[in-house]
């Protein structure tokens, strides 16, 4: 499975396992030209980001090179320093060796070239850093030249061996031993490999094929076993990979023979010692299981030779392949090794059509079992639905919902739909109430302009220029006061108040009328009270209440309001109520509503023809604590009493109140059948409104109601049915306790695998049944299935001895501040094969006391041990028996992981299913379950036991046990 690709005619190298983020360095390849025939060289560094779904690599640094490269190697030397990223060594033409400081390449600051040395006489094709002492670099070129460089002192490298002792040959590859730090091996075109002991500065053993057709193009040491290495042959007559054991170096231990033409490179996985990569001139890249000598992964045939393959040190299932057509590609041998590829492949599991082909022969005529064809096809029935769902998901992921809403507004064909999306967009913006009012047709700026125009005309302001800003507001207030004074003066004059003139022209003092308030006989009304006299007495006595009553009696409302304002809040409120009861106009109800602030009565009593005005009043005057409830009440009235005609408009009320639940319920009344596109339309609105709620209350303040949860679950089911499992999972509420939601979440979780989601299994509302598990108590289960702390390394740990003796004047303490490895007292190692000596064999680790398996998992061990015993009894050749013995040892790591509680639930469930297949003798089904478990598991979790379990199942199938 391809993860990334890069168009470069270049050699490559991964950053060390300790480096984060992961980088890939490329150097323009020597003896390889593109169509431009350019001979320029460059060293480039790219960041490998598997979270990015594209195939592109992120360019991080580039440096022009004086020559092109045959080989690149990236070491840890200097990475222990602050911001240190190690050193890249490049082997070029004409014997040039160049060392680069990676940090300086990435920062484009200081000169990144540490040193250049032209010590070799030919092209430098072989390089390797010592895995124990990062300051030691081995380089190989033509004429059997091998140098050991100390990066603390590059002036005089150590020369390995003596040319006079052997015919000069090219050095095709160099590799340090992964267990013993003073052992180095070299590969030569003649087909031999030489193992060097740097303490003695001489070769200690040579291995070669006796066919004289072996042309070594690469070699690699076993990651765990110090005495084993592999060689590959470039000769088309013998395209093989040979596994040698130095304890018996007369012939190869294994020969791998699936390539049809010469092999160009090999790479041994440092995470799983049984996995080996190879590329050849047959345009194939193969991954081998060394335990079974079988190809377990085959890259689709390439268009060109792949001349170099390398495992990624940090991400075990990933490898890179450089080909002669100018491409470097990154692949994964496990479909779920990288986050982006996991999600991409997981989404292909839903929406499957399974077709069974009936046999042509009738069942009663069949004499032996025959193959039945089963076709599994990916079926997508709602392509438009998936496209719009992807658009919504992208808008939610990027946070660019404003543009999303704007696009919906522009695409809406119905005015009601356009209005709804306009309201939804406003919920995401600042000052939403003012913008809601504008959408309803009420604009404060426009109102102020109209009022100013009326006042200007009525007050006869002439042609004076319109003031702006604060002056405009001040003049408006003055104009209003002048108009009010004018109105009051006219009313007072008409009613014969004691104000003869508001401002006397002759500036003489105004007089207070004196009267006893007696009744007088007049022609028109024989019993008319002298109201001015009574009002004057009330004012002189401070009886503002009676004075207001007199004014109201005479309908002198302006006088009444002015006097009530002077009398306090209670008197003003009583006066307002009396005025509203007596003065009936077209806007009396509106005035009463504004004055009384009884919005609930307004919502319940207003005509539904005025729903816009009612909503505008709530937006203008209602407080934030009551506003959502009042909006919902108005919307509910519109739904119930509007006869269906106002149901669509009621949604605007729910958007203003941000009531997702009521919006969904309103939608359900209009959509009895939930078609995919209708459901998609609803979810678009729900997700936008949810996001506005999160902006208002925070992520924890949003909790979906039952109607919303039901529709979201319905939507997630539809997405899952179309194959979008990851997207479906993202919509399900995480804290919902409803069984349908928990069931769907559980199904989606296990369909994708715990490693994909990076989280623990969600709660499940029903008891689980482990296949093959024995009954046990709940207390035992909860204890046994708990995660136990893993064992730690001993407090005192001794690293292998440093290489010091043969390297000229090197001391036991490396020079310079860039030393990357501590030194300990030296430990002697005898050469392999010496009589009476242990050779390179390591001291076996001490056995640790292992805990007992939990009772519910004991059947696993029983089934696998019985299978191993049956296979061992049926096996007739020593090779198979040896494999089974090795498998029994390797399966111990499985039992240890079970005891420690470090295996994920889906791996344990899969293992129990494999055990059930083993007990039933159905090894074919067991292998299928095995493949499923591996496909949805993290590589590091299962790599220690799943390959050997597969080998045992394969042996059992062949032996028919």
The CATH code of the domain that includes 913 is 1.20.940.10
pLDDT tens digits along 521-537:
334 443 445 677 777 76
Point out the domain boundary residue: 247, 274, 301. 274
pLDDT band (50, 70, 90) for residue 180: very high
pLDDT tens-digit map of 677-698: 888 999 999 999 988 888 888 7
Residue 498, domain member (yes or no): no
pLDDT at residue 264, as a whole number: 95
* pLDDT at residue 430 greater than cutoff 60: yes
578 and 690 assigned to the same domain = no
Q: Are residues 579 and 676 in the same domain?
A: no
Residue ending a domain, choose from 583, 602, 624? 583
Q: Does 491 score more than 80 pLDDT?
A: no
Q: Could you give the number of structural domains in the chain?
A: 4
pLDDT of residue 233: 93
- 541 and 677 together in one domain: no
Backbone angles phi and psi of 304, in degrees to 5: -150, 165
Can you read off the two tokens belonging to residue 335? Answer: 């479909």
pLDDT for 449: 74
Which of 193-202, 663-672, 762-771, 782-791 is modeled with the greatest confidence? Answer: 193-202
Q: Give pLDDT, residue 745.
A: 80
Residue 176: predicted pLDDT: 96
Can you tell me the mean pLDDT for 270-287?
92
**What percent of the chain shows pLDDT beyond 90?**
25
Mean pLDDT of 901-907: 83
Tell me which residue has tokens 């014997």: 95
Alpha helices in 327-382 (DSSP H): 339-346
Overall pTM > 0.75: no
Distance CA 272, CA 290 (A): 10
Minimum mean pLDDT range among 103-107, 611-615, 728-732, 738-742: 738-742
Whether 262 and 391 map to the same domain: the answer is no
Same structural domain for residues 236 and 124?
A: yes
Give 35's pLDDT tier (boundaries 50, 70, 90). Answer: low
* Max mean pLDDT range (275-284, 826-835, 919-928): 275-284
Question: Is residue 362 assigned to a domain?
Answer: no
Write phi, then psi, for 179 (nearest 5 degrees).
Answer: -120, -35
Q: Which domain holds residue 934?
A: 855-959
Long-range (24+ apart) CB contacts under 8 A made by 884-888 are 884/952, 884/955, 886/291, 886/948, 887/291, 887/948, 887/949, 887/951, 887/952
pLDDT at 459: 52
Same domain, 270 and 140: yes
Measured between alpha carbons, how far is 751 from 942 in angstroms, rounded to an integer?
18
Whether residue 419 lies inside any domain: the answer is: no
778, pLDDT greater than 50: no
Same domain, 159 and 263: yes
What was the pLDDT predicted at 616? 87
Higher pLDDT, 489 or 577: 577
- Tell me, yes or no, whether 10 lies in a domain: no
CA distances from 173 to 191, 865, 876 (A): 12, 43, 40
Residue 186, domain member (yes or no): yes
Strand partners, 386: none
564 and 676 part of one domain: no
- What is the percentage of the chain residues whose pLDDT exceeds 70? 72
Residue 574 vs residue 481, higher pLDDT: 574
Confidence of residue 385 (pLDDT cuts 50, 70, 90): confident
Token pair recorded at residue 257: 């023979």
The dihedral formed by the CA atoms of 796, 802, 805 and 808, expressed in degrees to the nearest 10 = -140
Nearest residue to 392 via CA among 380, 407, 413, 381: 407
The pLDDT of residue 117 is above 70? yes
At 163, is the pLDDT very low, low, confident or very high (cuts 50, 70, 90)? low
**pLDDT-wise least confident of 177-186, 263-272, 696-705, 771-780:** 771-780
Among 729, 750, 771, identify where a domain stops. 750
């Amino acid at each position: 499975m391809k993860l990334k690709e890069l168009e470069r005619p270049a050699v490559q190298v991964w950053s060390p396992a300790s480096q984060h983020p992961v980088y890939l360095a490329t150097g323009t390849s020597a003896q390889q030209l593109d169509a431009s025939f350019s001979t320029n060289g460059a060293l480039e560094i790219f960041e490998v980001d598997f979270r990015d779904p594209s195939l592109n690599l992120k360019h991080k640094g580039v440096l022009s090179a004086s020559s092109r490269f045959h080989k690149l190697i990236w070491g840890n030397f200097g990475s222990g320093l602050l911001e240190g990223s190690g050193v890249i060594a490049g082997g070029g033409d004409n014997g040039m060796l160049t060392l680069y400081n990676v940090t300086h390449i990435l920062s484009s600051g200081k000169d990144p070239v540490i040193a250049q040395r032209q010590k070799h006489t030919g092209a430098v094709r072989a390089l390797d850093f010592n895995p124990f002492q990062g300051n030691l670099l081995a380089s190989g070129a033509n004429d059997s030249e091998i140098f050991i460089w100390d990066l603390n002192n590059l002036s005089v490298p150590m020369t390995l061996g003596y040319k006079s002792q052997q015919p000069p040959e090219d050095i095709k590859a160099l590799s340090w031993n992964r267990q013993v730090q003073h052992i180095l091996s070299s590969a030569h075109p003649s087909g031999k490999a030489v193992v060097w002991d740097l303490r003695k500065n001489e070769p200690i053993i040579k291995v070669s094929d006796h066919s004289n057709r072996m042309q070594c193009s690469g070699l690699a040491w076993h990651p765990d076993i110090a005495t084993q290495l592999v060689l590959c042959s470039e000769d088309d007559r013998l395209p093989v990979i040979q596994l040698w054991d130095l304890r018996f170096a007369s012939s190869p231990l294994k020969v791998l023979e699936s390539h049809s033409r010469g092999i160009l490179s090999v790479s041994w996985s440092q995470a799983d010692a049984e996995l080996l990569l190879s590329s050849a001139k047959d345009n194939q890249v193969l991954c081998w299981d060394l335990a079974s000598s079988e190809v377990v992964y085959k890259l689709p045939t390439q268009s060109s030779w792949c001349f170099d393959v390398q495992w990624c040190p940090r991400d075990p299932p990933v490898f890179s392949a450089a080909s002669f057509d100018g491409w470097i590609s990154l692949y994964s041998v496990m479909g779920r090794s990288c986050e982006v590829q996991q999600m991409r492949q997981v989404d292909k599991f839903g929406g499957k059509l399974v077709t069974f082909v009936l046999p042509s022969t009738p069942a009663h005529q069949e004499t032996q079992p025959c193959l039945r064809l089963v076709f599994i096809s990916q079926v997508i029935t709602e392509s438009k639905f998936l496209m719009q769902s992807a658009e919504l998901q992208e808008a939610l992921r990027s946070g660019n919902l404003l543009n999303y809403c704007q696009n919906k507004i522009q695409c809406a064909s119905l005015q009601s739909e356009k209005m709804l999306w306009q309201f939804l967009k406003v919920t995401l913006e600042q000052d939403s109430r003012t913008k809601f009012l504008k959408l309803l047709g009420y604009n404060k700026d426009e109102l102020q302009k109209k009022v100013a125009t009326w006042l200007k005309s009525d007050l006869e302001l002439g042609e004076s220029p319109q003031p702006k800003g604060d002056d405009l507001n001040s003049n408006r207030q003055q104009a209003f006061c002048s108009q009010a004074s004018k109105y009051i003066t006219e009313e007072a004059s008409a009613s014969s108040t004691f104000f003869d003139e508001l401002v006397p022209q002759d500036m003489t003092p105004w007089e207070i009328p004196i009267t006893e308030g007696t009744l007088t006989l007049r022609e028109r009304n024989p019993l008319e009270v002298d109201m001015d006299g009574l009002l004057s007495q009330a004012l002189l006595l401070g009886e503002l209440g009676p004075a207001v009553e007199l004014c109201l009696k005479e309908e002198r409302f302006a006088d009444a309001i002015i006097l009530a304002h002077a009398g306090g809040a209670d008197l003003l409120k009583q006066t307002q109520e009396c005025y509203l009861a007596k003065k009936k106009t077209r806007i009396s109800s509106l005035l009463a509503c504004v004055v009384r602030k009884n919005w609930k009565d307004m919502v319940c009593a207003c005509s539904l023809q005025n729903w816009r005005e009612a909503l505008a009043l709530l937006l203008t005057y209602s407080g934030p604590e009551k506003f959502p409830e009042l909006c919902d009440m108005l919307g509910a009235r519109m739904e119930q009493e509007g006869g269906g005609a106002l149901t669509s408009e009621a949604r605007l009320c729910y958007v203003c109140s941000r009531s997702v639940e009521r919006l969904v319920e309103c939608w359900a009344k209009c959509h009895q059948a939930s078609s995919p596109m209708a459901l998609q339309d609803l979810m678009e609105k729900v997700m936008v409104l949810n996001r506005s709620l999160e902006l208002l209350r925070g992520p924890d303040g949003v909790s979906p109601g039952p109607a919303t949860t039901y529709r979201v679950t319905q939507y997630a089911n539809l997405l899952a049915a179309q194959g979008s499992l990851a997207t479906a999972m993202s919509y399900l509420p995480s804290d919902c306790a409803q069984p349908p939601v928990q069931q769907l979440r559980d199904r989606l979780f296990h369909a994708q695998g715990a490693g994909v989601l990076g989280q623990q299994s969600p709660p499940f509302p029903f008891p689980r049944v482990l296949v093959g598990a024995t009954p046990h108590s709940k207390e035992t289960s909860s204890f046994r299935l708990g995660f136990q702390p893993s064992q730690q390394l001993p407090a005192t740990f001794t690293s292998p001895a440093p290489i010091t003796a043969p390297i000229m004047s090197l001391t036991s303490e490396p020079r310079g501040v860039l030393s990357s490895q501590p030194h300990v007292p030296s430990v002697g190692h005898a050469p392999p094969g010496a009589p009476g000596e242990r050779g390179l064999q390591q001291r076996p680790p001490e056995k640790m006391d292992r805990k007992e398996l939990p009772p519910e998992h004991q059947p696993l061990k029983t089934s696998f041990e019985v299978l191993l015993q049956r296979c061992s009894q049926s096996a007739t050749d020593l090779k198979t028996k040896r494999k089974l013995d090795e498998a029994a040892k390797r399966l111990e790591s499985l039992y240890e992981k079970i005891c420690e509680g470090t295996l994920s639930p889906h791996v344990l469930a899969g293992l129990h299913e494999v055990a059930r297949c083993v007990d039933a003798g159905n090894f074919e089904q067991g292998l299928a379950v095995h493949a499923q478990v591996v496909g949805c598991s993290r590589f590091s979790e299962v790599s220690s036991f799943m390959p050997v379990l597969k080998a045992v199942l394969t042996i059992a199938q062949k032996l028919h046990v």
